[in-house]
Amino acid sequence: MKVAIDAMGGDFPVNNIEGAIKSLDDPEVEIFLVGEPKKLSQNLEKYSYDKDRIQIIPSGEAIRMDEQPAIAIKRKPDCSINVCSGLVKKGLVDGYVSAGNSGATFASSAGILGMFEGLSKPCIGGAVFGFAPKTLVLDLGLNVESTPEQMLDFAALGISQAKILYDIENPSVGLLSNGSESNKGNKLVKECFKLFEKSSIKFQGNIEGHDIALGNVNVVVCDGFTGNILLKTIEGVGDVIHEFLIKEINDDKYLDIINTIPIKTNIMREFGGGPVFGVNGIAIVAHGSSSPTAISNGISTVSWLTKKDYINQSIKELSQIRGSINE
């Protein structure tokens, strides 16, 4: 299993190296660290590892977090994230993980790998709450603004992912809103409701935030602006509750239970990130603050998806779903 790492990305680039080394616990894994060779070599010298299983792939400078993604990847064609996408495109690796500028990862993967036929935009999604691990939410931040037609595509992508990843035969879909009634929501939600209702998907109507926690539907659709706020709110609340209980409960017998809270409320960290849905290759978007464990988990996710023949299965399922919607 060959996996590329955007070694220049993230708030703590050294975590990419430590995560790569940690992933070598899986004997099938081979790592391609993409970045500035001199810096990477100097950092690698600090560790003991199987040197036959980690290669350095040269790249230009990284894309900073404050840069405009679409402009930056064109202005820096040999940046680390473009090199990662290129390795996947050429079939030299099975997928890649980046904790760098997420917008750049989306733009690079869509531009270099290409999107599934008929899609106008990719998106990112996944489970956001560990107590409802089979409830997918999308979009989680890629598209701040979307049309109703694009949101229906996101629903189709979510259905295909629920089938492939969780073996759910006929996934149910809900539209995230400020109330369950059909007349609730902003203009986009109301227009989406009408479109979803006319489609052949198993549409359960509008849902509210608590429905996600309860796992009342399999796929939750929202725009990326709303989805990203939802994701980071759940993560933040989990961290605050965890810290509060650690301070207030001085009994070690409850420690294991208390320590599950940040795991259950930051499920993306457990998987190392989520794949970009709708592009012709596996690209994992990790948190900028990813720990070495999160990077290693992202590498494991690439391996897991590859073994599931994820891309081919996604294309097949999506084609069937979109075909039935448009009939």
* pLDDT higher than 80, residue 163: yes
Q: What is the mean pLDDT of residues 178-189?
A: 93
Domain range summary for the chain, segments of one domain joined by +:
1-119+278-309
Residues sharing a CB contact under 8 Å with residue 77, sequence separation 6 or more, in sequence order: 60
Q: What is the mean pLDDT of residues 139-163?
A: 91
The CATH code of the domain at 1-119+278-309 is: 3.40.718.10
Per-residue pLDDT band for 215 (boundaries 50, 70, 90) equals very high
* pLDDT higher than 60, residue 109: yes
Q: What is the mean pLDDT of residues 161-179?
A: 93
pLDDT at residue number 12? 86
Q: What is the mean pLDDT of residues 196-223?
A: 94
Rounded distance between C-alpha atoms, residue 1 and residue 299, angstroms: 9
Q: What is the mean pLDDT of residues 160-167?
A: 90
Side by side, the strands of the sheet bearing 95-98 are: 54-58, 30-35, 2-6, 95-98, 282-285, 274-277, 123-127, 136-138, 219-221, 172-176, 202-207
Q: Give pTM, 2 decimals.
A: 0.88
Q: Which of the pair, 270 or 153, is modelled with greater confidence?
A: 153
Rounded distance between C-alpha atoms, residue 227 and residue 191, angstroms: 18
Q: What is the pLDDT of residues 14-72, one digit of tens each?
A: 999 999 999 999 999 999 999 999 999 999 999 998 999 999 999 988 888 888 888 88
How far is residue 170 from each of residues 151, 163, 197, measured CA to CA in Å?
19, 7, 16
Q: What is the mean pLDDT of residues 122-132?
A: 90
Per-residue pLDDT band for 267 (boundaries 50, 70, 90) equals confident
261 SS3 class = helix
* pLDDT higher than 80, residue 323: no
- For residues 299 and 273, is the Cβ–Cβ distance under 8 A? no
Per-residue pLDDT band for 326 (boundaries 50, 70, 90) equals low
Q: What is the mean pLDDT of residues 105-131?
A: 90
Give the amino acid at 152.
L
* pLDDT higher than 60, residue 327: no
The percentage of the chain sitting over the pLDDT mark of 90, rounded to a whole number, equals 67
Rounded distance between C-alpha atoms, residue 88 and residue 93, angstroms: 5
